[in-house]
């Protein structure tokens, strides 16, 4: 992915030199042409066309913000309820992600999810130990993590 | 236009203050360090974020100057506060602070016991 972006910058710079015009507009035109060229040459790269990854990163950011809002609502509900009723606990969650940065992003996401907080990551990076505010919701949380977060992160790193 | 932006700024700042208050109440009311950490790491994050966003929009829409340091501040808080929550949680667990008595499940205990036996 990084190599495609670098190549795109290079094409934009070459375009500027061809025009002998160093304005931002020329750079943007060249960048757009570079996008087209890289799209046409996409089978020459081992990774997929990098615009998809950028979209995936933005959708991951959207998930982050949405979960942060939901998490705050649920914390508000627990904190401001007349009587504290929670059944906290720690559950183990096996992750399929492998690279360290993916696991870091996943744990940050989990921490900002309603009712869950990461306590520990096992030494082999396979199991996350997650403290949940309400163990009744833990199965739902597990499904959520598996289906939406892991998928979104994999989509970015594909 | 100014009225709308004033309304948005006011709403964001009030929401941030309210969430920070809720985080403080949560820290006082919840029973054990782990659940307290839930309140502190979530509500305080969004509280600070919306306060900063409100300040940014105030200077942008009403004073006409873009202060990029505030944007950087938002990004830093957004990245670092979950990590801080996680580290406090982990340190608390490793020095052996017990869970709340109504806790129902503890998978990590099994693992720790296995490790200490080895």
Complex ipTM more than 0.95, yes or no: no
Q: Give the chain B residue nearest A77 (alpha carbons).
A: B22
A62, with CB counted inside 10 A (0-12, 13-18, 19+), is exposed
| Cβ–Cβ under 8 Å, residues A73 and B38 | no
pLDDT of residue B103: 62
In chain A, what residues touch B90 (CB-CB under 8 Å)?
119-120
Taking only the tens place, the pLDDT of each residue in B74-112 is 989 888 888 888 898 888 888 877 777 666 666 667 666
- Contact yes or no for B26 and A90 at CB 8 A: no
Q: Is B66 on the interface with A (CB under 8 A)?
A: no
Q: A2: which 2 tokens?
A: 């990084």
Site from B34, B38, B43, B118 to mutate, A interface, most A CB atoms within 10 angstroms? B38
Distance of alpha carbon A9 from alpha carbon B34, whole angstroms: 47
- Contact yes or no for A68 and B45 at CB 8 A: yes
Cβ-based neighbour number of residue A3 at 10 Å = 11
- Contact yes or no for B108 and A120 at CB 8 A: yes
Whether B115 has a pLDDT exceeding 70, the answer reads no
Q: Give the chain B residue nearest A115 (alpha carbons).
A: B38
The percentage of residues in chain B with a pLDDT greater than 70, rounded to a whole number, is: 85
Of residues B114, B107, B78, B79, the one with CA closest to residue B93: B107
**B14-52 burial by CB neighbour count: b if 16+ within 10 A, else e?**
ebbeebbebbbebbeebebbbbbbbbbbbbbbbbbbbbb
Q: What is the pTM of this model?
A: 0.80
Q: What is the DSSP letter of B60?
A: I
Distance of alpha carbon A92 from alpha carbon B37, whole angstroms: 19
Arithmetic mean of pLDDT, A38-45? 87
**A133-158 burial by CB neighbour count: b if 16+ within 10 A, else e?**
bbbebbeebbebbeebbbebbeebbe
Q: Is B50 on the interface with A (CB under 8 A)?
A: no
Taking only the tens place, the pLDDT of each residue in A64-86 is 888 888 888 888 888 777 777 77
């Amino acid at each position: 992915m990084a190599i495609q972006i670098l190549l795109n910058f290079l094409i934009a710079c070459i375009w500027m030199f061809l025009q002998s015009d160093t304005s931002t507009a020329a750079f943007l035109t060249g960048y757009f042409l570079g996008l087209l060229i890289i799209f046409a040459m996409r089978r020459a790269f081992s990774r997929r066309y990098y615009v998809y990854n950028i979209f995936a990163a933005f959708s991951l950011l959207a998930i982050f913000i949405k979960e942060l809002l939901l998490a705050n609502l649920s914390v508000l509900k627990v904190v401001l309820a007349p009587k504290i009723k929670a059944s906290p606990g720690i559950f183990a969650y096996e992750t399929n992600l492998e690279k360290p940065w993916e696991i870091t992003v996943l744990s940050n996401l989990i921490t900002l999810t309603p009712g869950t907080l990461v306590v520990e990551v096992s030494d082999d990076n396979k199991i996350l130990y997650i403290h949940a505010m309400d163990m009744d919701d833990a199965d739902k949380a597990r499904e959520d993590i598996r289906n939406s977060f892991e998928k979104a992160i994999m989509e970015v790193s594909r | 236009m100014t009225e709308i932006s004033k309304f948005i700024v006011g709403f964001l700042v009030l929401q941030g203050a309210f969430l920070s208050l809720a985080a403080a109440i949560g820290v006082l009311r919840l029973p054990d360090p782990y659940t307290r950490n839930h309140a502190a790491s979530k509500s305080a994050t969004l509280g600070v974020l919306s306060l900063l966003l409100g300040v940014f929009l105030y200077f942008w829409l009403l004073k006409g100057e873009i202060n990029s340091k505030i944007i950087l501040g938002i990004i830093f808080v957004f990245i670092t506060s979950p990590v801080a929550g996680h580290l406090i949680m982990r340190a608390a667990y490793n020095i052996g602070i017990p869970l709340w008595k109504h806790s129902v499940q503890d998978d990590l205990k099994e693992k720790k016991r296995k490790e200490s036996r080895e």
